[in-house]
Structure 1
Amino acid sequence: MTLPVMLGPVQQLKAACSGCSVRGLCLSAGLNSSEVDLLSTLIQQRVKIKKGETLYHAGDPLRSLYAVRYGFFKTTVISEDGREQLTGFQMAGEMLGIDAISNDRHVCNAIALEDSEACPIHFMQLERLSHELPSLQHNLHRLLSREIVRDHEMLLLLGNLNADERLAAFLLNLSHRMVARGYSSKAFVLRMTREDIGSYLGLRLETVCRAIARLRELEIVRISGRAVEILDLAALHSLVSGCRRAD
């Protein structure tokens, strides 16, 4: 029996897209069985990344895009004065590494927030295969467009919403993504710290804590540690849309 090869914190495992529980959210969405098999040939090994370890670093050359099979990641950039800015959270069915396509080098770090597994998809081979499979090319374009939309949503968060509204929008975003994966829209666990949330939303830690307390007071959410329960989903939507602004 051959044991899996260990490379530092990363364990390599044989990949197969056809049996993946999140294939409907990934590059294989909508592909027929033969197309899925062709895509699987680009993923020689899945990799396991332990909590706190880095999948890739800023400055690393582009070799692969990474489909998150399970787990949770954050992406960060380091400012010129050495401060870390969190730029996103990625969960099962989402892609990492798209930041490197423009200049062939990653501009951020991808760090596992819990024990996770990802499928490296060799980028040059993916480009070649996407030219042969229009459905795969469509999925790749869809993923790139999703990143643009996510950037626009982030600009809206930082430019137009107050602290309570930013936190509400953040929780709604997680809720929608959980539903897409078959989980509850109203009860989930935060994989990130409050400091991470503050960095992502452009808020100080104490402001995040006050916003959480405010949503509790309004009886919109219940947050205990990292466990979240949305008590009033409609009120959360109203807060984000400006229909119920906090004083």
Structure 2
Amino acid sequence: MPAAPALGHGRARCTTCMMRNICMAASLEAGEMARLDSVVQGWRSVRQGERLYRAGDPFRSLYAVRAGSFKTVVAPERGKETISGFYMAGDSIGMDGVCKETHNCDAIALEDSVVCVIPFHLLEALCREIKPLQRQLHKMFSAEIVRESRQMMLLGNMSAEQRVAAFLLNVSARYRERGYSATSFVLRMTREDIGSFLGVTLETVSRTLSKFQQEGLLTVQGKTIELLNLDALDAR
């Protein structure tokens, strides 16, 4: 098994992080944020294609994505991996391990990435003292439940075109929340990854993107997407 990503030197501080307003430190006052800083163990650099953790690893920490992006992959069945989620800067990953105290998926970097390591037992203890942090943690778990519910609805009730359109709109909204362009962005994941996440084939994803481009809804240049008509995509 490859060695775990090395723990970075120095301390990752919420007070200096540009993602603090949408991450675990959201709604915290300066003093509370400093206390959260004190439980952050450090940061880890994870190279593209490397695993932050694997299915079956003991659950010890949550990870706040400081830079870069990840995909989570459910343990392969019959040799075919299934993508269960995509995470970008400002998101937290590792919550899958809370239930049984072991991770049930692999977390793989889609690009060179950096995460803050937050030991869960220390975070729990701090939540008992800082109620806004406790509420934020509850919101994070709730958001993960909502995300999974929407994913089930997407796979069960939408056509392939609707799934691709909904995926693009979701990515768009997440970039907007982070202060970036909601209409022009790079998809860090492959077309095959998108297909696995949406329950369709690679060919279907490529064909749908080409169709949307022909209809003037977007332009595609490699992994760069420019959305030209958000309303039309939403109406698919």
TM-score range, shorter chain: over 0.9
Verify: 1:217 aligned to 2:225, yes or no. Answer: no
Match of 2:225, SS state, is strand
Contact kept in structure 1, 2:5 and 2:44, CA below 8 Å: no
- Show CA shifts across 1:153-174 (max 9, x none): 1011101111111000000000
Alpha-carbon RMSD across the aligned residues, in angstroms, is 1.1
In the superposition, the TM-score normalised over structure 1's length comes to 0.92
Q: Who is 1:37 aligned against?
A: 34
Contact kept in structure 2, 1:67 and 1:119, CA below 8 Å: yes
Report the alpha carbon displacement of residue 218 of structure 1 after superposing the two structures with TM.
Answer: 1.4
Structure 2 residue identity aligned to 1:210: R
Contact kept in structure 1, 2:23 and 2:91, CA below 8 Å: yes
Match of 2:127, SS state, is helix
Match of 1:206, SS state, is helix
Q: Distance in 2 between matches of 1:80 and 1:210?
A: 27
Pairing of 1:63-212 with structure 2 (within 5 A): 63-212=60-209
Which of these residues, 6, 19, 34, is aligned with residue 16 of structure 2? 19
Report the alpha carbon displacement of residue 61 of structure 1 after superposing the two structures with TM.
Answer: 0.5
Q: Distance in 2 between matches of 1:16 and 1:204?
A: 41
- Residues 156 and 8 of structure 1: is their aligned pair in 2 closer, same or farther, counting only changes over 3 Å? closer
Q: Distance in 2 between matches of 1:133 and 1:8?
A: 31
In the alignment, structure 1 segments of 5+ residues that lack a partner are 1-6, 240-247
Match of 1:84, SS state, is strand
In the superposition, the TM-score normalised over structure 2's length comes to 0.96
- Show CA shifts across 1:67-111 (max 9, x none): 000100000012332321000000011011000000000000000
Contact kept in structure 1, 2:62 and 2:119, CA below 8 Å: yes
Q: Distance in 1 between matches of 2:41 and 2:128?
A: 20
Which of these residues, 210, 219, 224, is aligned with residue 227 of structure 1? 224
Contact kept in structure 1, 2:48 and 2:112, CA below 8 Å: yes
Match of 1:195, SS state, is helix
Report the alpha carbon displacement of residue 216 of structure 1 after superposing the two structures with TM.
Answer: 1.1
Match of 2:39, SS state, is coil
Q: Distance in 2 between matches of 1:19 and 1:80?
A: 42
Match of 2:128, SS state, is helix
Contact kept in structure 2, 1:187 and 1:230, CA below 8 Å: yes
Identical residues among aligned pairs (%): 47
Q: Distance in 1 between matches of 2:4 and 2:62?
A: 20
Contact kept in structure 2, 1:10 and 1:50, CA below 8 Å: no
Q: Distance in 1 between matches of 2:15 and 2:5?
A: 26
In the alignment, structure 2 segments of 5+ residues that lack a partner are none
Structure 1 residue identity aligned to 2:46: I
Q: Distance in 2 between matches of 1:126 and 1:90?
A: 21
Q: How many residues align?
A: 233
Structure 1 residue identity aligned to 2:33: V
Match of 1:25, SS state, is coil
Structure 2 residue identity aligned to 1:118: V
Contact kept in structure 2, 1:48 and 1:118, CA below 8 Å: yes
Q: Who is 1:245 aligned against?
A: none
Q: Distance in 2 between matches of 1:100 and 1:9?
A: 18
